[in-house]
Structure 1
């Protein structure tokens, strides 16, 4: 008997010469008549029914139109059939040729050889030397045969042989399976989906337990167990696609019995993708069933036992970085029963992390206090639109992963910032190298007045001036490392430039230490050194400030014109500038300009910078720095106190502050209040009075414009 892919059972009747089909609704129909002792049935790879006619010595194929096509003829007593995975037809027969001896009507003369017909139609002897050869089953590059034994061996009443199918199609050496004397007179043979063999036997001997007319299960490890007994006369066996077992029992008229296999296990949900090397499969099946799993149809099985409630858990190693198709089978009665259809699930293993890319963000520097970044990623498994992202700003902890592909920030502090983002794929892999974007936020917007961006300037000491939107805060400005004079939103500095100078780098620094930079391109042309030196004394001070001017290098006859306040109007004309004074009544930055016209009419201009401070504003600013330093010392925060000390003086005062640690809580008795004295160049001088041992002492306290353009303490 055989079962087709639709579950229709086909049974041969040797006595009546017919083939009968039994549908799933139990209706029957005779599909072939007039056959000469039909016994073995099989399906070819196209699903067509093959029949072994023992008396006729042939194997025929039943066509869909009802005709019969002979495949093999002239064979002595062909009985059992099966078809291998490559389409080879295996036939258990008495001999390859019929000979002249008559065919017995009973089963006294049994097959002794196995024939093979390859897909080209060539018929050859595959294996011989058997006694009482009965059923054959083709497995994975192996053929199983049930027989009474082999000629020349100790007489047995029942053996199942395993015969390797060699690459050239020939037979390897047959080896017996299972213990000797376990069963007698095996008739039919069928293999389940996990490779176990079921056979019908007239007598089964297991551990002194003898049963008759039984179905035995021959396991992969070679042990034999009883599946069913007490049958009438077990004959043919066959499995359907669901793992149900059918048996033809009795003689004509007989019966066909069906033993039901357990259903596929119900699996708990599994991730579609994982980066774990193994996965735990949980589910429920028949109580006490054995549970087996395999990957991609491989031979290796992973096995566990279900509990009395049918619950199970099975850990399965995964093939790395590929799809793993898991099949999970349930075998009833703890492995002694039938194996049902598999529950199938595909799990993709992936331990390759994604790559992250930033696709958008603010320019640098940016004048905005807000910023928005967009980003994406690539992965070999996870589509970009299902990647998840985590980000951070300035070494803060990363955010939780989410599907958002953008991040927005508000209230950005002025200064340099670093944005980092990482992608996470469906398996949980995280990009180990975050995508990074550095940018500077600066609301100190710099506008260069002189020279204009991209302008060509002459080599030498050149005036650079511009405006910076400081928002009323204290700010230091440097141009190519030269500290600039700053008043309100205006800055100016004399900067040396040469042919190697391609940019003017303007750096702004706040009192909190936040910096921002901007580069302005310039082109420098070579030029002879100017013969003129324009001197102002003093060039800085508090308002009102009276300044005396001198111009060196003027040769007679020449005309000198001076615009002392830089308003575009000439304040003085003469041949020499010595002795000329000008009073600046208001605080600010002024840009005096002198023009010299020589006897040949050549005109040369020379600028200067005058910085006039508002005494009250400067006094308040510097006294606040003095107070902030003392506050830091009072609480023992020496590093913070040193931020108010000029860079070149910090080492000396760090040692002094450290020595004074026991006295820092009472620092006011050491560092008293200040009194403004004067401004001289880049320094402002204060007086500090303190009484020590009834003696009034006076100390000079000096502030200076530091290298970053901010006022700091130089000495005290």
Structure 2
């Protein structure tokens, strides 16, 4: 009798613990669900620290099919998608967190996190000397500056990685190609200009192109009655200068890519004049240059001095005024781009 009772109790225990579908089996299955692998979260882009931007942008990934929740500065997690951006950030430290969640409701217990500091904006970088837009030289030099004393610079040519540089920087042995130069500054705090100054130009020593006129500039007043005209073109080309539809002289472009012509006939000081130029090579003629209007200033003593001096002077032929103008234009365009970036929001990755 005792043995039969003991056997029955043992059989009941086995059925309770081991039979599929019993309470014990259900608890074991539930425990395995709790221990399932949660999705992982990875940040793929975040602002640098310290940052001079009041905006921040983040990109992130997780397991396939995962959805995300984000938190900024300890706020409650809320649904988000990549990329996520924040604007009007106050100066000081900030913390961003993001976690992935799979379809079963499993949450990444260790959210991806990034902390950074927002400081006042970084320096503004400006290019004030650059090659001509179409260059006939295989060497290009750039001079640049920043609004803060003691700034350091990094430069990039045609998308290469930025590297330390100083002003002026020179690139040599450039083949015919289109180029873009970029430079950004760091201030003493280590804050980088988030919108690099940039300049694009073309090196072309093959195509027969219209020459450039560097003097006079549009609307200038030249000393008369036989003013000097100068410009740039590919070395070795023959340049014809046309004033008011009449050729007033020709010359050959020197090895530096510069040309200079003194008018062969006196010009009136009582009217507006227009000058253009053509380039010639092996019987071929280029397109006409851009037309430039100008006036002539005539005084008795200046007329005598000019006739005695004759020929071209080196002054207007070096195109330095044009390079300075291009630099100022680049700086203006650069400042506008900087303001636009602030208005649009978003921290550009340190690529360009």
Which structure has the bigger radius of gyration? Answer: 1
Q: Which has the higher helix share?
A: 2
The normalised TM-score by structure 1 is 0.22
Q: Which has the higher strand share?
A: 1
Q: Which has the higher contact order (CA 8 A, sep 6+)?
A: 2
The normalised TM-score by structure 2 is 0.37
